[in-house]
Chain A
Amino acid sequence: MSTRVEGREITLAQAINEALHEEMRRDDHVIVIGEDVGKFGGVYKLTEGLYDEFGAARVLDTPISEAGITGVGLGAAMTGLRPVVEVMFGDFLTLAMDQLANQAAKVRYMSGGKLQAPLVIRTLMGAGRRIAAQHSQTLYAWVSHIPGLEVVVPSTPYDAKGLLKTAIRNNNPVVFFEDKMMYRTTGNVPMGEYVIPLGVADVKRPGDDITLIANSSMVYVALEASQRLAADGISAEVVDPRTLTPLDEGTLIKSAMKTSRCIVIDEGYQRFGASAEIAAVVAHGAFYHLDAPVERIGAMDVPIPFSPELEDLTIPNPETVVNLARKMVRK
């Protein structure tokens, strides 16, 4: 990991919870809106403690109305507040999509810059929880497609905290994806105040022979693959874009130019997915430096099945990455 700072080991869930506490203390205009986020503290306990500290006026338990709460958050954002809306599962973004894609994303542009929507939508992604086809999808490609939205996909507690704080302070609508399987992932987080700008990729492991571009949970797949590859004498560089919009194209291209090979690993569906966009960016930008076509490994293009036996087949794994990388490097 590139970021080594004095701090303590906390989980990704704690990091997000800390970011929410700190931003709500820092700015009275920050409110949290969502289903079960108040008294109950959130389905995954991400908002625990907020209700006790900030009260019902700033931590709003809502009805189960994803479109409504997204739109209410937007209206509040357009009139001076900085709402953080929790959409309990990323799969439920479908219900909120008009408010996100047609309203929040476009209000600044359509008004010629006179209105703005400093809104954060926190939602989930990621398979592996054995909760089947409607609670396991990774749908960040959908929102990354829409101009006007920013899309954050953190992989570590450090990144999650710093990026969420930036997202809350930023004046654009941001969709913030948390992998439900990573909430207990621990990492070093400094005690003090820090923020991470959107649009800055992070090299999670330096290497020379091949670039593995991965975000969120796939960073860990890439890191495990790179360890195994190291045993074969293949040096893999793991680059985490951290945000899909804005996308730090320069860092991704630079890495691929250096290593001359690149695999994009994505927990979203492979077909028309984020991996396709990133691969296109790298293939174009690093073209004259590449020794192999840019490859992609995405989630299998099937609805996510319930049976653990089947579900695990749909998610990219280190084995697949290692095999493909070996073939590409031919060492």
Chain B
Amino acid sequence: MLTAKKTSRDETRQEPSYDRETLLQLYHQMQQIRLFEERVVDLYTRALIPGIAHVSIGQEAVPVGICAALRKEDYITSTHRGHGHCLAKGAHPDRMFAELFGKSEGYCRGKGGSMHIADPETGNLGANAIVGGGIAIATGAALSAKLQKNGRVAACFFGDGASNEGLLHESMNMASIWKLPVIYVCENNQYGEYTRADEVTGGDLVERGKAMGIASEHVNGMDVLLVLRAALQAVKRARDGGGPSFLVCETYRYLGHGMSDRDRPYRERSEEDAWRARDPIQRLDDYLIQQKIATQDELKKIVEQIHHELEEAVEFGKASPLPKPEEVRFDVYAS
């Protein structure tokens, strides 16, 4: 059975003091992602969303912790499992649902779908359906920020699968030699599609980053506060001219690779239960209650409000007009 790598932080957890507003925002965002994706599963299962969709339920602490350390104008690149990245960076569920339905008010006017949501207004340079395809783009965005001296940083999300793509090696090397303000965020959800990551990955990923001269560490990706702390350090390093960071966030994909992967025959239910017992949302929930930062009632209200917003967002998506046939030829080239 897999267990997340223990980091020193698991044992010596010391919370930096975040204000109540920040903590509730983290809670809100993680809940928003989870409830959004639960609706995606439901809508897809009822054949209301065409194509395919990949959900990240269980992994919410990573995008939320990372994006909480970023500014609106900072860049991210995302993956095929990218709803969480979009939402954490500030995208609105209504236009996301419109995109998932293939409607004209979607973020990409219905041309991208679940695997390609881009929202430059929140610095989101796009989700990418080629595993590892966005890694060099994020690195280039960081180069651009450095040359234009605009103080921005780029956070590059990818999975354990992309860690074995050559582009990561090429990109990290350039980020290292040029000291680029980029944070490579590996979401190690333990499975590349249907294969255990540790069966197809040689050595320790963190050591790969270190070998390139990049500040690299394992992060407990089931604890949003630990992700946020690592992200704040990495962002500070990037903004201070200290160059790239590599955060290997240990997390878990509760559901299958895609919607058709319902039985998950490649792993034991007991393994899933062990990871679910470490659920990142429940963990923050417990923390907020124990520390008397919020009451159960307040948290319940947050969830109810999200449900309400998502209900409206789905309706917005459904009501959004379909793209017009002539739009099929728009935006191939600059006009």
Contact B140 A115 (CB under 8 A): no
Per-position 1/0 for A61-74, Cβ under 8 A of B: 01101011111111
Q: Which residue of B lies closest to A83 (CB)?
A: B140
Contact B139 A112 (CB under 8 A): no
Q: List 27 A-B contacts (CB under 8 A).
A: A57-B147, A65-B174, A67-B166, A68-B174, A71-B167, A71-B171, A75-B137, A75-B140, A76-B141, A77-B140, A78-B125, A78-B137, A78-B140, A99-B133, A102-B130, A102-B133, A103-B128, A103-B130, A109-B111, A109-B332, A110-B111, A111-B111, A112-B108, A113-B330, A114-B108, A114-B119, A115-B120
Q: How large is the interface on A (under 10, 10 to 19, 20 to 34, 35 or more residues)?
A: 35 or more
Given contacts A70-B136, A114-B108, contact A75 B118 (CB under 8 A): no
How far is it, in angstroms, between the C-alpha of A177 and the C-alpha of B55 when the chains are bound? 42
Task: Known pairs A98-B133, A107-B126; list 4 more (Cβ under 8 Å).
Answer: A75-B143, A78-B140, A79-B141, A108-B332
User: In the complex, which residues of chain A have a beta carbon less than 8 angstroms from the beta carbon of B125?
Assistant: 75, 78-79, 115
Q: Does B164 contact A (CB under 8 A)?
A: no
Report A118-150 residues with CB < 8 Å from chain B CB.
Answer: 147-148, 150
CB distance from A36 to the nearest CB of B (A): 15
CB distance from B182 to the nearest CB of A (A): 9
User: In the complex, which residues of chain B have a beta carbon less than 8 angstroms from the beta carbon of A75?
Assistant: 77, 125, 136-144, 154
Q: Does A251 contact B (CB under 8 A)?
A: no
Chain B CB within 10 Å — which of A74, A79, A171 has the most?
A79
Q: Which residue of B lies closest to A71 (CB)?
A: B136
Per-position 1/0 for A149-183, Cβ under 8 A of B: 01000000000000000000011100000000000
How far is it, in angstroms, between the C-alpha of A162 and the C-alpha of B107 when the chains are bound? 37
Chain B CB within 10 Å — which of A108, A147, A171 has the most?
A108
How far is it, in angstroms, between the C-alpha of A171 and the C-alpha of B335 when the chains are bound? 9
Interface size on B, residues (CB 8 A): 45
How far is it, in angstroms, between the C-alpha of A74 and the C-alpha of B135 when the chains are bound? 11
Contact B333 A108 (CB under 8 A): yes
Report B140-197 residues with CB < 8 Å from chain A CB.
Answer: 140-145, 147-148, 154, 166-167, 170-171, 173-174, 177-178
Q: Does B334 contact A (CB under 8 A)?
A: yes
Contact B334 A108 (CB under 8 A): yes
Contact A67 B170 (CB under 8 A): yes
How far is it, in angstroms, between the C-alpha of A212 and the C-alpha of B128 when the chains are bound? 43
How far is it, in angstroms, between the C-alpha of A98 and the C-alpha of B177 when the chains are bound? 24
Q: Which residue of A lies closest to B178 (CB)?
A: A60
Q: Which residue of B lies closest to A79 (CB)?
A: B144
Per-position 1/0 for B106-122, Cβ under 8 A of A: 11111110001011100
Nearest 8 A/B pairs, CB to CB: A75-B140, A71-B136, A68-B170, A112-B109, A65-B170, A171-B334, A113-B331, A75-B137
Q: Does A200 contact B (CB under 8 A)?
A: no
Given contacts A67-B170, A79-B75, A79-B140, contact A148 B106 (CB under 8 A): no
Contact A110 B332 (CB under 8 A): no
How far is it, in angstroms, between the C-alpha of A62 and the C-alpha of B173 when the chains are bound? 10
How far is it, in angstroms, between the C-alpha of A49 and the C-alpha of B149 when the chains are bound? 25
Q: Which residue of A lies closest to B123 (CB)?
A: A79
Q: Does A116 contact B (CB under 8 A)?
A: yes
Q: Does A80 contact B (CB under 8 A)?
A: yes
Given contacts A72-B139, A79-B125, A148-B332, contact A67 B108 (CB under 8 A): no
A residues whose Cβ falls under 8 Å from a Cβ of B: 31, 57-58, 60, 62-63, 65, 67-81, 83, 98-99, 102-103, 107-116, 147-148, 150, 170-172
How far is it, in angstroms, between the C-alpha of A109 and the C-alpha of B77 when the chains are bound? 17
Per-position 1/0 for B215-256, Cβ under 8 A of A: 000000000000000000000000000000000000000000
Chain A CB within 10 Å — which of B110, B141, B330 has the most?
B141
Q: Which residue of B lies closest to A149 (CB)?
A: B333
Contact A103 B144 (CB under 8 A): no
Contact A114 B120 (CB under 8 A): yes
How far is it, in angstroms, between the C-alpha of A65 and the C-alpha of B167 when the chains are bound? 8
How far is it, in angstroms, between the C-alpha of A60 and the C-alpha of B135 when the chains are bound? 19
How far is it, in angstroms, between the C-alpha of A30 and the C-alpha of B83 when the chains are bound? 34
Contact B136 A99 (CB under 8 A): yes
User: In the complex, which residues of chain B have a beta carbon less than 8 angstroms from the beta carbon of A98?
Assistant: 130, 133, 167
Contact A72 B334 (CB under 8 A): no
Report B53-79 residues with CB < 8 Å from chain A CB.
Answer: 75, 77
Given contacts A110-B116, A111-B116, A112-B110, contact A72 B174 (CB under 8 A): yes
CB distance from B151 to the nearest CB of A (A): 13
How far is it, in angstroms, between the C-alpha of A109 and the C-alpha of B334 when the chains are bound? 10
